[in-house]
């Protein structure tokens, strides 16, 4: 290769290297400029004043948040679907089917004292004991001029099975539509194991011979309850 050719080749290689260096420098410069612009933008954004909301907007948001809070699943007390009977008031009239296929009305007991014990469900432990206790004292209630009726929302068939299984002698009334239960204020909100539901609040009502409510026991504890009602009936 001649000196002239080698010189030309050397110049060409040098130009290529210079071009690469220039391109690299340009790319580096552009990246640096982009980083600088980003940094400047962030700095400006950081210096911007925080927008303040109006008092009305704050109140509006607070109001919306308050209404969206879930309600407590557990009530403070049982809520009745009907009015709670007041002692001294006239007992509400009723006519409902009973075990055996007949019907029973309040008017059937005119001039007599009457015990109405409302129980949550036939053939459950507490209800069974309560019904057996009232059956055991039936003759004592009769001697005191008092009749006894048991009432629940069970079907007539379920009441008959309950009667036959435990040899109950007090009439058992079926109120599947909750008509009497609501009128007497014993159908309400209950709580069990943190779950709320509607059902019968165990209640006993003593009606005197004039048809007036003499005593009301709510949230009944079964043990000794029938005896306490008998004493109240005797005292009228």
* Positions marked catalytic: 127
Ramachandran bin of 185, using left for φ above 0, alpha for ψ from -120 to 50, beta for the remaining angles: left
User: How far is 148 from 204, CA to CA, in rounded Å?
Assistant: 10
User: How far is 144 from 115, CA to CA, in rounded Å?
Assistant: 11
CB–CB of 149/104 below 8 Å?
yes
User: How far is 23 from 118, CA to CA, in rounded Å?
Assistant: 96
Torsion, Cα 215 216 220 222, to 10 degrees, reads 30
The dihedral built from the CA positions of residue 182, 185, 191 and 192, taken in this order, carries a sign that is negative
The dihedral built from the CA positions of residue 177, 179, 180 and 181, taken in this order, carries a sign that is positive
Residues 6+ apart with CB under 8 A from 176: 153, 154, 155
The dihedral built from the CA positions of residue 138, 139, 140 and 143, taken in this order, carries a sign that is positive
**What secondary structure letter does DSSP report for 80?**
B
CB atoms within 10 A of CB 16: 10
């Amino acid at each position: 290769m001649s000196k002239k050719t080698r010189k030309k080749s050397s110049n060409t290689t040098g130009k290529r290297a210079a071009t690469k260096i220039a391109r690299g420098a340009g790319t580096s410069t552009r990246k640096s400029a982009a980083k600088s612009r980003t940094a400047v933008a962030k700095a400006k954004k950081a210096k911007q004043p925080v927008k303040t909301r109006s008092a009305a907007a704050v109140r509006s948001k607070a109001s919306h948040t308050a209404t969206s809070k879930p309600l407590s699943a557990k009530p403070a007390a049982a809520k009745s679907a009907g009015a709670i009977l007041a002692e001294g008031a006239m007992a509400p009239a009723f006519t409902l089917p009973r075990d055996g296929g007949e019907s029973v009305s309040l008017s059937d007991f005119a001039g007599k004292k009457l015990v109405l014990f409302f129980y949550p469900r036939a053939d459950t432990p507490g209800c069974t004991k309560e019904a057996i206790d009232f059956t055991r004292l039936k003759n004592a209630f009769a001697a005191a001029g008092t009749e006894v009726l048991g009432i629940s929302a069970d079907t007539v068939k379920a009441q008959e099975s309950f009667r036959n299984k435990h040899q109950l002698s007090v009439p058992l009334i079926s109120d599947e539509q909750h008509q009497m239960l609501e009128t007497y204020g014993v159908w309400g909100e209950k709580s069990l194991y943190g779950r709320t539901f509607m059902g019968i609040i165990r209640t006993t009502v003593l009606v005197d011979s004039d048809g007036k409510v003499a005593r009301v026991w709510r949230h009944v504890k079964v043990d000794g309850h029938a005896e306490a009602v008998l004493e109240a009936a005797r005292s009228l």
